[in-house]
Amino acid sequence: MTRLSQCLSALAVVAALQTSAAHAQNVELTADETRALAIELANAGDLAASQSVLDALLARDDRDVTALITAARIATAQNRPADAVALGARAYSASTTDVEAYVAARIVARAHVEQNNDSRAQFWLRRARQYAPDAETAEGVAEDYAFVRNRNPLSLDLSFGIRPSSNINNGSQSREAFLLGLPFALTLSRDAQALSGLAYNLGATARYRLRDSETSATFFDVSIDGTTYTLSQDAKDELEAEARLEDATGDTPSAEALRDIKGSDYAFVQLSFGLTHRVRLAPDLLPTTLSARIGTSWYGGAPYQDFVDASVGQSLATSDRSRLRLLAGVQKQIAEDSFDDVISYRFGARYSYVLDRGDLVTFTIDDRISVSDNVERDYTAIRAGVDYDLSEPVYGVRLGFGLSVENRAYDFSRLNAGPRDDLTVDARATAQFSQVEYYGFQPVGTLEISKTSSDNALFDREYISLGFDLRSAF
């Protein structure tokens, strides 16, 4: 017996006992006994008689949950999925217990699946997951969701989060820097230094499977991602303090410019369109991925740059426990001023291995070559990293850790009046709280610490951010 059948039985068992007693005493049926009679008739296969009883119940009370659920079951049995959806949705709206809500949502989801309305079915399965009576039932919902998701040609991924950051403007950690080859240090304005605040991110990606076969699949997607900021009170106070100093020197325009700074000045939005083709070139080879993407972006509300990107990736099964993925790509960035245009080439490898205890460890190495007439955007970079994800939760929390190091070398920097090297170290820790869930989404906290050391203090950076977002549990 499935969990849905068990829950349906649970709704009927008490009423069924009451009906048996009523029949024995030959008395007029109460509403509870009438509901149980309708269920008994439906279970016995006399759907027409059961429907007549249900019609009477719904005429008396059109929010009778048991009657609506039983009527939805009959509609499903009679291959009337549209009616099952309508009746199940009414039952869900009128439900007063978790079991009622769960049963109604599962019925509606099943009816949508029968109509090939996979996206709507996924929505109702998330509702069912929210009211699943136990862990086994919740896992069954997740399995059904995975089946529908894989069948559905359309997928929609949403992301949103909020995080405090010590450096929302990518500012320097130093108050002074030697610039342009001058023999003395220049004092950096407060807005050129790191400003703290809150970051807000919202993103969405819609992907549609254009075609698929046993050996290949092609997808089109559209993606938009945006991040905006608000300044902390400390940052506002520091900007105001410097503005007062400018007022004291008579530099009113600079003072006004400092007072006009707001977090949204550093907002970044990107819109892009992508085409991805996955093909298995040989029976014993994992799929090869070919991707192309075009997009545009805005910074501080003003047009920033357009881009065109192409890449190819190949995964290799090096053993039952390990995978090696190779990647190569090229990107053209088209700025408002052609002097700032960039062509970048990237090559990378990722090796993942599952340990005996089930933990996943991943090593990555990436090389990037950025070519531009603007020497501040012309560099080579190499990055190495390692990630470690625990297979089992620790006190209900799924943990992951990451560490990476990148060296970026510039042959010449005008601001440095010579070569420049930047070394960046990133450390990350993520915690997914698997015991806290809302409609199939679980909260995830991310702590990230980043430090960039440059031979020019202007480019010294430090970030500490603690992020929060939601991630699907299945």
Could you read off the pLDDT of 304-329 as tens digits, one per residue?
A: 999 999 999 999 999 999 999 999 99
The beta strand positions in 252-358, using DSSP E, are 268-279, 288-299, 302-317, 322-335, 342-354
Could you give the CA distance from residue 363 to residue 351 in angstroms, rounded to a whole number? Answer: 5
d(Cα 172, Cα 454) in Å, to the nearest integer? Answer: 10
Check if the beta carbon of residue 465 is closer than 8 Å to that of residue 164.
yes
Residues 152 and 118 sit within 8 Å (Cβ to Cβ): yes
Report how far residue 353's alpha carbon sits from residue 209's, in angstroms, rounded to the nearest whole number. 30
Could you report the per-residue pLDDT of 376-430, keeping only the tens digit for each?
999 999 999 999 999 999 998 999 999 999 999 999 998 888 999 999 999 999 9
Nearest to 111 by CA among 146, 160, 71: 71
Q: Which domains does the chain have, with CATH numbers?
A: 3-151 (1.25.40.10), 160-472 (2.40.160.40)
| Strand bridging mode 342-354 / 461-472 | unpaired
Q: Which two tokens stand for residue 157?
A: 């991924």
pLDDT digits (tens, 9 = 90+) for 104-115: 999 999 999 999
Q: What is the pTM of this model?
A: 0.84
pLDDT attached to residue 18 = 39
Confidence grade of residue 366 (pLDDT, cut at 50, 70, 90) = very high
Three-state DSSP string of 18-61: HHHHHHHHCCCCCHHHHHHHHHHHHHCCCHHHHHHHHHHHHHHC
Q: Amino acid identity, residue 159?
A: S
